[in-house]
Amino acid sequence: MNKLQQLKLVTTVVADTGEIEQIKLYHPQDATTNPSLILKAVQKPEYKHLVQEAMEWGAKKGIDRSSETYFTINRLLVNFGSEILKIIPGRISTEADARLSFNTDETVSESRQIIDFYKQKGIERDRVLIKIASTWEGIQAGKILEKEGIHCNMTLLFNYHQAIACAQAGVTLVSPFVGRIYDWYKKYKSREYSGKEDPGVQSVNRIYNYYRHLDIPTVVMGASFRNVGQIEELAGCDLLTISPSLMNDLQQDNSTLERCLSVESAKNQNVEPISVNEKDFRWHLNEDAMATEKLAEGIRSFSNDLNKLEGIIEDISSLA
């Protein structure tokens, strides 16, 4: 078996892309999208019909939130998610508006709307994860939504205390960003990292061991990989979301893949339970320069790409 096949035996493989044709090639269990990935996809002619449907649908609806463009964007995200769900057996992660990352109530409202759009397409909430930035406000939104049966994927997670707060909130899944952690340390420490010394790999290891040692039901999905070495070091993690290019690299490699993470190994770790309140959360995040910078940068990036996506919709509308 190639390494991608071997990885699927110990980890749920998730496609990290908004491009439907790419997902078909690698047969992942789940898929994740975000505004940046959708922005790339909508500019390709093969997805024009998904954009058109969202625009036509939005034009027919009376709106009491923001603008017609805003309303249409959510429909567009659901259109992509719905098409992806036709070709994967598992779940799709769809991002709530990153511009609401510091507003619990608005994030909850936005997430309910996305779930309602999926329901209108005949897709039940068990097949959808709402992606929410792991701010304190976002985590509290996740806590509310989970109690309603709306499952959450807490994204832009860079810090141990973020992960603990997510576990306390009872969210379904967390996404530690391996590659972005690696990027920060590479830049600011002026050195390369590989194998088990990679700070991004170490972050996921620590979170995974905490959750599995303490029997916390929240699952860990390593995300944002820069190379196959990072993926290999996390073989055995609950889930890994991987870009098509890196899935291709794994598929071309027929050497043996060793499992690095397991519940058994986590049980043998020295792990102490920690309780995190809002004051603790904000202090530890503030003390972590990498996490503070990368969380803010990620929110800005997703927000900017949402603005660009809205601009594309508005340009098309003006030509109609």
Is residue 199 within 8 A of residue 193, CB to CB? The reply is yes
* The predicted structure's pLDDT at residue 319: 54
320 pLDDT tier (thresholds 50, 70, 90): low
Provide the 3-class DSSP secondary structure of residue 21.
helix
Output the domain CATH number for residue 70. Answer: 3.20.20.70
Span 73-87, pLDDT tens digits? 888 999 999 999 999
* The predicted structure's pLDDT at residue 65: 43
* The predicted structure's pLDDT at residue 103: 98
**Which of these, 215, 218, 79, lies nearest to 151 by C-alpha position?**
218
Question: By residue range, what is the domain housing residue 70?
Answer: 3-319
Is residue 73 within 8 A of residue 306, CB to CB? The reply is yes
* The predicted structure's pLDDT at residue 73: 85
* The predicted structure's pLDDT at residue 36: 86
Which one from 131, 147, 186, 187 is the annotated catalytic residue?
131
Tell me the C-alpha to C-alpha distance, in Å, between residue 86 and each of 20, 199, 266. 10, 36, 35
* List of residues 6+ apart from 86 with CB closer than 8 A: none
* The predicted structure's pLDDT at residue 63: 46
* The predicted structure's pLDDT at residue 64: 41
Active-site annotation holds for 3: no
Is residue 223 within 8 A of residue 93, CB to CB? The reply is no
* The predicted structure's pLDDT at residue 317: 63
Residue type at 25 in one-letter notation: L
* List of residues 6+ apart from 202 with CB closer than 8 A: 196
Which of 9-18, 39-48, 102-111, 181-190 has the lowest average pLDDT? 39-48
CA separation for the pair 182, 224 (Å, rounded): 10
Span 3-36, pLDDT tens digits? 999 999 999 999 999 889 999 999 999 999 888 8
Whether the predicted pLDDT of 207 surpasses 90:
yes
Count the neighbouring beta carbons within 10 Å of the beta carbon of residue 80: 24
What is the count of structural domains for the chain? 1
Task: Find the mean pLDDT for residues 164-189.
Answer: 98
Q: What does pLDDT average to over the chain?
A: 93
Span 36-70, pLDDT tens digits? 888 888 888 888 888 888 877 776 664 444 455 55
Whether the predicted pLDDT of 187 surpasses 70:
yes
Provide the 3-class DSSP secondary structure of residue 133.
strand
CA separation for the pair 298, 294 (Å, rounded): 6
